[in-house]
Amino acid sequence: MFLIPKSNLKKFDPERCCLVLNEFAAAEFSSAVEMLFAAKNINNKKLSDGFIRHALDEYKHCIIFTNIKNQIILDYKINKKELSFVPNHLYNKGYIYKDHFIFEKKKINNFAIFIGVNEEIAEKKLITFANHLKEHKPFAFKQIQNILKDEQRHANYSLRFAKNNNGFLSYKIKVIGEKILSFFRHIYANSLNKFSFIFNPILITILIIINFVIYFLNLKKNATDEDVMKNIEPYSIT
């Protein structure tokens, strides 16, 4: 998981729990997609196989989180469309990039550190969330324990690989650097919506001005066209 959802809930709120579970499912799914891409593009059979196994685990986790969420939705009769998991929303939520995979931008040693550090952070957040669920949803707590074991294994494997392929000092510096980067990445992702408080009034002002200009325009539309190919301007975007 490369972008880890906020999971420090204070009291048990089924709807809020479902939102967090949905975010964890999204994070796992995006991680699976990244791993699958890495498997396809690395010229090392052993590492490629490892990435595939990692991807399979992440897909499995996504299903577990989704199943837990669906059970809570049923138990508490929650009707919220926002709780459905839509892969296409992963882009807007910042879990994956539109034009590249992380593997394309990092060398394998750095990629391993990236995975290891983020899996460790995810593990900690997941422990907090699992403990939150323990009392109210023991079935979920049990299932999340299995996910935690996988996450721990992924982190250990990645960091061991990174340790073996980096000098001691270089490894330590990169791990700290990745932790700092991860911290800022989360701050950025969580504050995206907050910028709207600044920009929205400006945009509304622009809209009112456009509305005023348009009031004086008389734009006509043609419902018919005698020769479409002749009348279309192929180089124009309007």
Residues that bind another protein (CB under 8 A): 33, 36-37, 39-40, 45, 49, 52-53, 55-56, 59-60, 73-74, 77, 79-81, 84-88, 90-91, 96, 98-100, 196, 200, 203-204, 206-208, 210-211, 214, 219, 221-229, 232, 234-238
Q: Which is closer to another protein, CB of 72 or CB of 144?
A: 72
Please choose, from the candidates 128, 96, 178, 143, the residue with its C-alpha nearest in 3D space to the C-alpha of residue 8.
128
Q: Which is closer to another protein, CB of 169 or CB of 213?
A: 213
* Least distance between another protein and beta carbon 126 (Å): 22
Q: Which is closer to another protein, CB of 42 or CB of 127?
A: 42
Q: Which is closer to another protein, CB of 181 or CB of 206?
A: 206
Residue carrying the six token digits 């394309």: 104
* Least distance between another protein and beta carbon 83 (Å): 9
Q: Which is closer to another protein, CB of 18 or CB of 121?
A: 18
**Tokens read off for 234:** 């192929």
Q: Which is closer to another protein, CB of 169 or CB of 223?
A: 223
Q: How far apart are the first and last CA of the chain?
A: 42
Q: Which is closer to another protein, CB of 35 or CB of 162?
A: 35
In degrees rounded to 5, what are phi and psi of residue 13?
-130, 105
Please choose, from the candidates 130, 123, 128, the residue with its C-alpha nearest in 3D space to the C-alpha of residue 68.
130
Contact 129, 11 (CB under 8 A): no
**Residue 139: HSE in the Cβ half-sphere, 13 Å Cα cutoff:** 9
Beta carbons within 8 Å of 137's beta carbon, 6+ residues apart? 17, 68, 71, 72
Burial of 217 (0-12, 13-18, 19+ CB in 10 A): exposed
* Least distance between another protein and beta carbon 193 (Å): 12
How far CA 104 is from CA of 56, 131, 182, in Å, comes to 20, 36, 18
* Least distance between another protein and beta carbon 68 (Å): 16
* Least distance between another protein and beta carbon 229 (Å): 6
Contact 64, 147 (CB under 8 A): yes
